[in-house]
Amino acid sequence: MLSLGSGNTIIKSKLIGRRMFLITAAKAVVMVGLVGRLISLQINQATKYRSLSDKNRFREWKLAPERGVIKDFFNKEIASNEPLYQVHLIPENAKDIDNLFVRLKAILNISEKKVSYLKRTIKKQKPWEPIIISKNLSWSDFSRLNLFLHELDGVEPIVSVARTYPDNSSAHVLGYVSQISAKDLQNKKYLAELAVPGMAIGKTGLERKLDEKIIGQIGYQRYEVNAFGKRIKEIKVNTGQAGQSFKTTLDYEVQKYTNELLKDKAAAVCVMDVYNGDIVSLVSSPTFEPNAFIHGLDKNYWNSLIKDEKKPLSNKALSGLYPPGSTIKTLVALSALEHGIIKPLDTFRCKGKIELYGEKFHCWEKKGHGIVNLRKGIQRSCDVYFYEIARKLGVDRLSETAKRFGLGKKVLNDFIEEKSGVVPNTKWKKKFIGQNWYLGETLHSGIGQGYFQSTPIQLCLMTAQIANGGFEIKPRILSDGRNNKLRDYLKFKNDNPNQPLPADLLVANYNLKPLFKNQEHINLIKDAMFSSSNEPGGTSYRHRHQDPKFTFAGKTGSSQIKRFTEAQREAEVKQNELDYKDRDHALFVAFAPYKNPQYAISVLVEHGGSGGKAAAPIAKKVIKKVLERHELRRNVNNLMGESV
């Protein structure tokens, strides 16, 4: 029994041993497989998993950089930054939310509605996610809050910076900033890496144009976060880099002064240095409050802005399109002289109207101007005179001159809102209207009506290029420190009055592009403009400066809204008797001082009636202000000239 049992046991043991051997072999294979897997994960793919683990572990919060400032010509900040005081709350750090809100309400004066909104938001989000209690606190509220901070668990005072503007005088040029919208992210590529929630970007004006450079470089806070997104500890902070600052050619004092002058009017003013094209002032009225856009716009204010028929949001100086009216007569006369159509002393008789193929063309002076030559034609702004020469000149030659002087194309390339206007000719009409040109339309074009469309800044440039003796200038609003050679050339000319340079040398030595064939023609136009402003009978004679220091030469204009009916013409209806909406836009262009031109100005008053009455008085005041500050400006220019 025992031996049998033990024999059985021996056989069993052998069997068990054999089978165990198979299992052990299998185990060895599996073990090798496990080690292989470890090698694959921890050695071959370690870098990949390392970065995946870091991706889990770190999360970055972007920090909005400080926006660059924009300065005027005298380094006064016209768009700057101010500290912004905010209050955030981290709900999980608060012991008793309800109690906390009672305390906060007492300290900060938050409405019941806001409190219940905040409480609802807190319930929706994770307890460690901060919630903004107040976006923009006054300093006094903020300091009071800090006083009670020790008893307000979970409340965090935050100081950051936000855009601020000293006033609304340059609102249109500078534009405004406000929060990034979904559309901005789609359209502006540079925002892809920059977008920080709550960051403000430029929406219009220079703020928009300069946005990419003025925003600066984004900073970040890198945190270690757990699987639920809670921040565990701060790993690294990079505050980013403040944006680039820009200096403009604008004069803040003139902006302020002009803005005050235009108050309550729908109007625009543009002032330009006739030599280097510096825009000294660019004001559109009525203006808006740019500071109101920064922390989210009040709905009522927005509605009042878009409903106002004077269109405060549009920059009339750049994007307002108006027929140039009689201000174009300077160019019509110049074109006719240059093309040899007329001589300065050629005369026409103005009887108040002419007839062409049965259609009547009226002069603004019903009685007529009598015998009119070029100087008198411009001085009195005689329509009949210009009908006659326009008829001879033809619209195509006129349009060529007008384009050469800057009409029909954008003046600055800094603003997307700028319009290019229209300089009509026969080809243009065929292309855009699909009809042939009529002679009658040439007559309308000769007095700046009809299809002509221009912006106030184009008229200012036109005037500046006449004032500087007929040389092309490139207007600029950002002060780039470069000086063009026009002033140098004038100095050379003064020193060598008897040796005028031939045109090709002018181009070669001074990089100047003359816009005339014969400079004498330019001088004739300037003289005529002088008589218009300074001799009895001139259209703006009443608003001249007596002081020779401020004497300007200008040209009035009015752009027609509605043609007079025969009945109105018979009844001699005055502009101010019409409905506001039906009155003509008043225009005035000028340069000053007459003897030694420095600045050109264009003034537009929407529905102001006649240029002589509504626009010239504004120009008179602005010219005085600008010339009073000329010395200061010249000093800065000289300083910059030396530094180049």
Partner 1 sequence: MLQPRSIQSALGFRDKILSIDYILVLSILVLGIISMFAMYSTDGGEFKYHTNSHILRFFVFFGMFFLISFIQLRFWHNTSYLIYISIFILLLSVKYFGLTSSGSKRWLDLYFMNLQPSELMKVGLILFLAKYYHRISIDKINSIKYLCLPIVALIAPLILVATQPDLGTSILIASGGVVVAWLAGVRAKFFVYSGVAMLALLPIAISFLKPYQKSRILTFLNPERDPLGAGYQIIQSKIAIGSGGLFGKGFLNGSQSYLDYLPEKHTDFIFTLFSEEFGFFGSLFILLLYTLIISRIIRIGNLTRSSFGKLYCYSFATAFFIYVVVNMMMVLGLLPIVGSPLPIMSYGGSSMMSIMFGLGIVMSCKIYKDVPVN
On the CB side of 350, CA atoms within 13 Å amount to 28
Asked if 138 interacts with partner 1 (CB under 8 A), we say no
| 2 is an interface residue for partner 1 by CB under 8 A | yes
Alpha carbon of residue 620 to chain centroid: 26
49-57, 378-386, 450-458, 475-483 -> range binding partner 1 (CB under 8 A): 49-57
- The first and second tokens of residue 198, run together, are 């709550």
Structure letter (DSSP) for residue 414: S
182, amino acid identity: A
**Choices 31-39, 362-370, 484-492, 612-620 (CB under 8 A): range interacting with partner 1:** 31-39
* CB closer to partner 1, 52 vs 106: 52
Nearer to partner 1, 41 or 505 (CB): 41
Q: Say how many CA atoms lie within 13 Å of 400 toward its Cβ.
A: 10
Kindly indicate which of the ranges 45-53, 238-246, 332-340, 423-431 contains the residues binding partner 1, using the contact rule CB under 8 A. 45-53
CA dist 185 and 206 (Å) reads 19
CA–CA distance from 309 to each of 37, 173, 415, 562, 605 (Å)?
A: 76, 20, 23, 18, 14
| Residues 361 and 371 sit within 8 Å (Cβ to Cβ) | no
Q: Does the protein bind partner 1 through residue 15 (CB under 8 A)?
A: yes
Provide the token pair at 261: 């002058």
Residue 34 makes contact with partner 1 by CB under 8 A:
yes
In 153-307, which ranges are E strands?
155-164, 177-179, 200-202, 219-225, 231-238, 246-247, 267-273, 279-285
State which residue, 70 or 225, has the beta carbon closest to partner 1.
225
Binding mask 181-220 for partner 1 (x = CB under 8 A): ----------------------------------------
**Interface with partner 1 includes 237 (CB under 8 A)?**
no
What single-letter amino acid sits at 216? G
Q: Hey, which residues does 178 pair with through a beta bridge?
A: 201
Query: By three-state DSSP, how is residue 553 classified?
Result: strand
- The nearer residue to partner 1, 55 or 95, going by C-beta atoms, is 55
Using CB under 8 A as the binding rule, whether residue 19 contacts partner 1 is answered as yes
Helix (H/G/I), strand (E/B), else coil: 406? coil
Contact 391, 443 (CB under 8 A): yes
What are phi and psi for residue 41, nearest 5 degrees?
-75, -45
- In the complex with partner 1, the residue whose CB is nearer, 36 or 296, is 36
Q: Residue 345, interface with partner 1 (CB under 8 A)? A: no
**Torsion (CA) 624, 625, 627, 631 in degrees, nearest 10:** 150
Give me the sheet containing 279-285, strands edge to edge: 279-285, 267-273, 599-605, 585-592, 553-559
Residues 276 and 474: their CA atoms lie apart, in Å, by 7
Q: Is the peptide bond before 593 cis (omega within 30 degrees of 0)?
A: yes
Query: Is 8 one of the binding residues for partner 1 (CB under 8 A)?
Result: yes
Out of 1, 25, 30, 644, name the contact with partner 1 by CB under 8 A.
30
The structure tokens listed for 608 are: 């102001």
CB 374 within 8 A of CB 439: no
Of the ranges 13-21, 255-263, 566-574, 576-584, which one interacts with partner 1 (CB under 8 A)? 13-21
39 binding partner 1? (CB under 8 A) = yes
Chain positions 508 to 547 lying near partner 1, rule: CB under 8 A, are none
Q: Which listed residue (1, 182, 192, 227) binds partner 1 by CB under 8 A?
A: 227
**Closest approach of partner 1 to the CB of residue 53, in Å:** 4
Q: Which of 174, 225, 615, 627 binds partner 1 (CB under 8 A)?
A: 225
Between 16 and 106, whose beta carbon lies closer to partner 1? 16
49 part of the interface to partner 1, by CB under 8 A: yes
Any idea what DSSP says for residue 384? H
Q: How far is the CB of 89 from partner 1 (least distance, A)?
A: 25
From the list 48, 263, 549, 595, which residue makes contact with partner 1 (rule: CB under 8 A)? Answer: 48
35 is a site residue for partner 1 (CB under 8 A):
yes
Which range in 47-55, 304-312, 343-351, 526-534 contacts partner 1 by CB under 8 A?
Answer: 47-55
Residue from 559, 554, 548 nearest 617 by CA? 554
Number of chain positions touching partner 1 (CB under 8 A):
41
Among 184, 224, 396, 472, binds partner 1 (CB under 8 A): 224
Write the CA distances from 445 to 423, 505, 638, integer angstroms: 9, 36, 42
Options 99, 217, 226, 635; binder of partner 1; rule CB under 8 A: 226
Stretch that binds partner 1, among 23-31, 107-115, 278-286, 586-594 (CB under 8 A): 23-31
Q: What is the CA radius of gyration of the chain?
A: 37
User: Amino acid identity of 40?
Assistant: S
Smaller CB separation from partner 1, 12 or 123: 12
Q: Which is nearer to partner 1, 45 or 565 (CB)?
A: 45
Using the rule CB under 8 A, is 416 a contact of partner 1? no
Q: How far apart are CA 546 and CA 624, in angstroms?
A: 11
Q: Which of 13, 160, 635, 638: binder of partner 1 (CB under 8 A)?
A: 13
Least distance from C-beta 221 to partner 1, angstroms?
A: 17
Q: Is residue 24 within the footprint of partner 1 (CB under 8 A)? A: yes
CB of 19 to partner 1, least distance (A): 5
In angstroms, what is the minimal distance from the CB of 8 to partner 1? 6
The answer to whether 391 touches 445, Cβ cutoff 8 Å, is: no
User: Site residues (CB under 8 A) for partner 1?
Assistant: 2, 6, 8-9, 11-13, 15-17, 19-20, 23-24, 27, 30-31, 34-35, 37-39, 41-43, 45-46, 48-50, 52-54, 56-57, 224-228, 232
